Structure 1
Amino acid sequence: MPLQSPPSAGHTPTQYVWIDQALLAQGWARGVRLALADGRIADLQTGALAQPGDVRLGIGVPGLGNLHSHAFQRGMAGLTEVGGRSGDSFWSWRELMYRFLHRLAPDSFQAIAEQAYIEMLEAGFTRVGEFHYLHHAPDGSAYADPGEMAARIAAAAQSSGIGLTLLPVFYAHADFGGAAPNPAQVRLIHDVDGFARLLEHSARAIAPLGDAVLGLAPHSLRAVTPDELSALLPLCDGPVHIHIAEQTREVEACLAWSGQRPVQWLLEHAPVDARWCLVHATHVQPEEVQGIVARGAVVGLCPITEANLGDGLFPMRDFAQAGGRFGVGSDSNVLIDAAEELRLLEYGQRLHVRGRNVLAQGEGVSSGRWLFDNALQGAAQALGVQAGLRTGAPADLVELDATHPALRARQGDALLDSLIFAARGGAVRNVWRNGRQLVRDGRHVHREQVAQRYAQALAGVLDA
């Protein structure tokens, strides 16, 4: 059962928050006074004095969007770090993931998602794009409610308080060309009509959350045929996310099937535009990079997971120089850390080109500020929401701990540089999502209850 009720649909009293220094849409400002009402920033003043009754903060930044998550995989984090006889890869990891997935019941699935979501909030993520593909019972049969597992995701979002963009996944095939699914995939599989019903039930499941967004996710070009992809897109007008070109084996298989690389095929055969998020897109050629930029799509990068799985490095420097849009996601949730995703994104490029401050463009430009601003806006686009501290935007606010050793005596962009490159945990002090404070002094307000549910669920799953 949820740990708390969803926000009231009625009018809520205005709350005032005064921030000594805050990162606004136009840049850093001092003496920022926010009026929060009905989950949004109703008014914003700069150069203001704090008033009696105001909540007073030191350093305020917007909450980031986490644009790609498989929440249930938090429960298997750290359990796949043993090599096999013939080496290890994404594909052998996937077989272990399928075995874990088959042990999950609705209750354990929800408990693991709740744990993942409170950790995201504690890290400064205030909305998650849940790439949700676990739909059916372990034998592949449908639940009485086709949206049973989507409802569990919604319940986890409700109890944790995180914003939710739900992305039900269409998965029909094991490989390119419409290959039949394999037995390990029976909990994932739909036809187009069944998926349309899933979307309907998913919309009902998230409706009580108030500001949830529904999109859809063709899993990958391996899992969907061209005809199915065309049939799916009119079913929902929300964001469209797809795994693409994550592995070299996938690129080779796509070439064998179509004569084209995955991103090349997608750009030529699908109406890719600003609705789309191309997740990973690791193995792309320069002309594909230019094509993504021209269409205004977002690339969803998950540096921690991509490193953990040995995917490779997206050509981020070239993409940045071309003006590409991107956001970051926690994907497999092996480690949930917003700052670490941004740090590793930059460090991967530094190692590749053997240089420093690789992605930020222009002399004197802060790498931390550039990474934060671009990830904020890219994730908001991919998740179908507004972002940033501005009038009318959701009241999603993160207070950094001014007493953290890495943030002492810092001002402006140096705060973000130090948060991303010099802080190691504990720098996020308080978090508000939709105007409600969910993290106090670094801990989610329901951490103890959620952790207990998680421990009980995981014991049952791993002992099964």
Structure 2
Amino acid sequence: MQGWWFEAALLAEGWAERVRMTVESGRIATLAVDAAPEPGDARAGVALPGVANLHSHAFQRGMAGMAERRGPGADSFWTWRDLMYRFANAIGPDALEAIAALAFVEMLEAGFVRTGEFHYVHHDRDGTPFANPAEMGARLAAAAAETGIGLTLLPVLYMTSGFGGAAPRPEQRRFVHDIDGYAGLIEASRGAVASLADARVGVAPHSLRAVTPEGLAAAVAIAGERPIHIHIAEQTDEVEDCLRHSGQRPVAWLLDHAPVDSRWCLVHATHVTPEELAGIVRSGAVVGLCPITEANLGDGIFPAAALLEAGGSFGVGSDSNVLIDCAQELRSLEYSQRLLQRARNLLSRPDCPSTGRTLFDAARRGGAQALGVAEAELAPGARADFVTLDRAHPTLAGRAGDALLDAFVFANGGGMIDGVWRGGKQWVRGGRHVARDAVVRRYATTLAALGIAAR
């Protein structure tokens, strides 16, 4: 039995002060409010439940900052993708594990306690399948085990290079499966994560442009009750291509042709009509928003205020991992709405005027739903996955209750998180991951060996 004592904590029923918590076998055993610490208790300032990062491509952490040079023509998502393909086709299993470990370290340091790995680099560099179809997924699992982050592995089904069943491009050879091969990949992936105590495996048809309708239906059947994630309506070119091919916009087509429900995470969904947004809300699906990446790639702005007003759900993800920061994802989401509507505090609720609290709660709930796990909360019986803030941080001075979350989301320039625990085990201490130094050394050696430079 481990004991902790917090000056303040965000419990399932709301804020409380002088909170004593005990943990047994990785789960919260007891919580007492207005309690005194006991001998041997660990002490911390502010305790928060952890947030899930619902959409990540871990390998892209290795190319962070490489695409910030103007090319000979107009730059876009599609020119960025060319560099991403070059990087993806250079990494082997050891490199993926090293890069993912750093990404996971940074996620934990930023307050994320679980990641949804939308994983599509499956085969060897020449496109030949590995003897173990889930070799690359197993390396993600190894990185998760080393760093302590929770893992929902989302192996991607990639079949085509465009609408209408266009043949895959040569640079996509590492991604591609037929339906039978994908079923084998999912089975092997379940074995790859079996040693992780709370890992999950879902399915991820990449996008409507990268799977056939038959492939999409097969992936849904393979999923059963597990999570289903799909990129959708991220780019205006994608919307226009879908209209030309099918006569419908991507989200409208998906809602009409697939059993979209609470298992689903619609990643980005940037370009949606009010009717499509209403359909998403009715379905119970989570919208996976990645505001930092969406801004970096010039995707556009999702109508998050309208989603919340209609009662919809969202979570946030670090996607390309150009910058990993839970608070900044939430802040960027609110700021995008402010710039769009030229108003403030657009993502708060009438029953919760704190924008920081509204964003935090929504991301925590939506992220957990999307990744197929119980909602992270500080309550008896819940997994002991929690984050502590340094009460001595100057920005938290004089703050209490929801004002602490407003400060965390909107005035956090770093250094506010001092501890992160998973299943009662501490992985971040004093703001640094316990394995940071070794992980960074291996990462630096790996990147130097790859020799991939900015274009």
TM-score, normalised relative to structure 2: 0.98
Moved more, 152-161 or 233-242: 233-242
Aligned to 1:197: 184
Aligned to 2:438: 449
Q: Please give the per-residue CA displacement for 1:124-144, whole angstroms capped at 9, x wherever unaligned.
A: 000000000000011100011
How far off its partner does 1:53 sit? 1.2
Aligned to 2:163: 176
Q: Is the 8 A contact 2:134 2:192 kept in 1?
A: yes
How far off its partner does 1:42 sit? 2.0
CA distance in 1, matches of 2:294, 2:52: 18
- 3-state DSSP of counterpart to 1:208: coil
Aligned to 2:305: 317
Aligned to 1:135: 122
Matched, 1:275 2:263: yes
Aligned to 2:366: 378
How far off its partner does 1:31 sit? 2.0
CA distance in 1, matches of 2:310, 2:218: 32
- 3-state DSSP of counterpart to 2:361: helix
1:65-464 equivalences under 5 Å are 65-236=52-223, 237-362=225-350, 365-386=353-374, 387-462=376-451
CA distance in 2, matches of 1:377, 1:199: 26
CA distance in 2, matches of 1:398, 1:268: 41
User: Of 42, 53, 67, which residue of structure 1 is paired with 2:40?
Assistant: 53
Q: Is the 8 A contact 2:87 2:452 kept in 1?
A: no
- 3-state DSSP of counterpart to 2:132: coil
User: What is the identity percentage for the equivalent residue pairs of Structure 1 and Structure 2?
Assistant: 61
Q: Please give the per-residue CA displacement for 1:13-41, whole angstroms capped at 9, x wherever unaligned.
A: x1111112100111101122222122211
CA distance in 2, matches of 1:40, 1:173: 44
- 3-state DSSP of counterpart to 1:232: helix
CA distance in 2, matches of 1:262, 1:148: 32
How far off its partner does 1:364 sit? 6.3
Name the amino acid aligned to 1:64.
V
Q: Please give the per-residue CA displacement for 1:232-268, whole angstroms capped at 9, x wherever unaligned.
A: 1121231000000000000000001110000000001
- 3-state DSSP of counterpart to 1:36: strand
CA distance in 1, matches of 2:86, 2:334: 34
CA distance in 2, matches of 1:332, 1:462: 20
How far off its partner does 1:463 sit? 5.6
How far off its partner does 1:392 sit? 1.6
- 3-state DSSP of counterpart to 1:299: strand
- 3-state DSSP of counterpart to 2:193: helix
Name the amino acid aligned to 1:176.
F
Q: Is the 8 A contact 2:7 2:19 kept in 1?
A: yes
- 3-state DSSP of counterpart to 1:209: coil
TM-score, normalised relative to structure 1: 0.96
Q: Is the 8 A contact 2:255 2:279 kept in 1?
A: yes
Name the amino acid aligned to 1:385.
V
Gapped runs of 5+ residues in structure 2? Answer: none
How far off its partner does 1:404 sit? 1.2
* Count of matched residue pairs: 451
The Cα RMSD (Å) is: 1.0
Q: Please give the per-residue CA displacement for 1:109-152, whole angstroms capped at 9, x wherever unaligned.
A: 10000000000000000000000000001110001111100100
CA distance in 2, matches of 1:363, 1:98: 46
CA distance in 2, matches of 1:59, 1:232: 42
Name the amino acid aligned to 1:121.
L
